C-alpha cells in the first residue's frame, strides 16, 4: 500500500487525528444524519435514516430540506405512517421531487418499506438475512435490493437502489449502514443494529473520499465503483480492523471541508 509521503505509522496517526476532529456532534449540523437524529424510536430512526440517505446526493441543504418535507408529511411519525398508510396516504407523496427521484419513486419506496416492516421483520432483519452469505456486506446489499424490489415498481425506480452485482459503489446504502451499525461515544452514528459488525462495513465512497484516498495512496483504482470500495476499505482495515469506517469522517472532512 503506497502512502504518498507518509510512513504507515504517520498516516495512521494522521487519519486517527482527522477522524477524531470530524466525528463530533458538530458534524450533524450540516449533514443529512440530522434527520433521523430527531427521533428516538429504533424504527423511526431507521426509516428516517433510510429515506434521508436515499436522496443524499446534490447540495446538502437541499437534501436536508427535502428529507424534512418527507418527515413532515408523515407527521413526524415515520414508523406509524409506514405500518398503517393507505393508498390515499401514499398519494400525497406524488408531488415529491429530489433531482431525478420523483413522486412515483417516492411512493414506491414507501410501499416497499411497508412490505419490509409488515412482512420481512424490518430493515435490520433484511440486511442481516443477507449477511450469512460468502461476501458479507456485498451479499447483504444484493439481498436487500432483491427484497426491496419485490413490490410492484416502475423500471425507472431501479436506478435509485444501487446494484453491487453490477459493481455500483452503493455509497448511500453504505452510509446508511454506517449510521445504523457504528457504535462510539460521539453522538453521530446511532449504533442501533447488533446483527452486523462495524468490522464488516464498507466505506461510503464518493468524490471526496475517493479523491483524498487516492492522494493518500489508499486507492489506486480510478473509477468509484465497488472494486474501489473494496480496495480502499481493505486498506482502512489495516489501520483499524474493528472499526475501519470511522475513517469516513477523516477522508470526507479532508475533502469537503479542507479541500485536501
64 and 157 in a single domain? The answer is yes
| 211 has pLDDT over 70 | yes
DSSP-derived secondary structure for 21-44: HHSSGGGGGGSGGGTGGG--SHHH
Selected residue with higher pLDDT from 196 and 27: 196
The pLDDT tens digits of the residues spanning 219-232 come to 999 999 999 999 99
pLDDT band at 133 (very low <50, low <70, confident <90, very high): low
pLDDT of residue 30: 86
For residue 52, pLDDT over 60 is answered with yes
Please name the residue ranges forming H helices in the chain: 8-22, 42-54, 60-73, 78-84, 87-91, 103-119, 123-130, 137-148, 171-181, 207-215, 226-237, 247-256
131 & 235 share domain: no
The number of distinct structural domains making up the chain is: 2
The boundaries of the domain holding residue 63 are 31-195
Query: How much of the chain exceeds pLDDT 70, in percent?
Result: 98
Same domain, 11 and 107: no
**Cα dist. 148→108, 151, 184, 246 in Å?**
10, 7, 29, 28
Contact yes or no for 76/35 (Cβ under 8 A): no
Across the range 45-73, mean pLDDT stands at 97
How far apart (Å, rounded) are the C-alpha atoms in residues 198 and 244?
8
**pTM of the predicted model, to two decimals?**
0.95
One domain, residues 25 and 36: no
Residue 101 pairs in a beta bridge with 98
pLDDT, tens only, 79-111: 999 999 999 999 999 999 999 999 999 999 999
Q: Are 170 and 188 contained in the same domain?
A: yes
CA atoms within 13 A on the CB side of 247: 30
Amino acid at each position: 500500500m503506497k502512502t504518498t509521503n507518509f510512513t504507515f505509522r504517520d498516516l495512521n496517526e494522521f487519519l486517527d487525528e482527522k477522524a477524531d476532529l470530524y466525528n463530533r456532534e458538530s458534524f450533524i449540523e450540516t449533514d443529512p444524519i440530522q434527520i433521523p437524529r430527531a427521533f428516538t424510536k429504533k424504527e423511526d430512526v431507521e426509516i428516517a435514516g433510510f429515506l434521508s440517505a436515499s436522496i443524499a446526493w446534490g447540495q446538502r441543504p437541499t437534501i436536508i430540506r427535502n428529507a424534512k418535507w418527507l418527515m413532515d408529511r408523515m407527521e413526524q411519525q415515520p414508523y406509524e405512517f409506514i405500518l398503517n398508510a393507505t393508498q390515499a396516504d401514499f398519494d400525497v407523496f406524488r408531488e415529491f421531487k429530489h433531482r431525478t427521484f420523483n413522486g412515483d419513486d417516492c411512493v414506491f419506496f414507501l410501499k416497499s418499506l411497508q412490505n419490509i416492516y409488515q412482512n420481512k421483520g424490518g430493515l435490520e432483519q433484511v440486511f442481516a438475512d443477507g449477511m450469512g452469505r460468502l461476501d458479507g456486506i456485498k451479499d447483504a446489499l444484493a439481498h436487500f435490493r432483491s427484497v426491496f424490489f419485490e413490490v410492484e415498481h416502475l423500471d425507472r425506480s431501479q436506478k435509485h437502489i444501487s446494484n453491487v452485482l453490477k459493481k455500483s459503489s452503493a455509497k448511500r446504502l453504505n452510509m446508511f449502514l454506517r449510521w445504523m451499525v457504528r457504535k462510539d461515544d460521539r453522538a453521530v452514528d446511532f449504533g442501533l443494529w447488533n446483527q452486523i459488525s462495524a468490522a464488516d462495513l464498507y466505506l461510503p465512497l464518493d468524490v471526496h473520499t475517493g479523491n483524498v484516498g487516492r492522494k493518500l495512496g489508499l486507492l489506486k483504482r480510478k473509477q468509484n465503483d465497488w472494486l474501489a470500495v473494496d480496495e480502499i476499505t481493505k486498506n482502512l482495515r489495516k489501520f483499524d480492523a474493528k472499526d475501519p469506517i470511522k475513517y469516513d469522517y477523516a477522508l470526507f472532512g479532508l475533502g469537503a471541508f479542507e479541500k485536501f
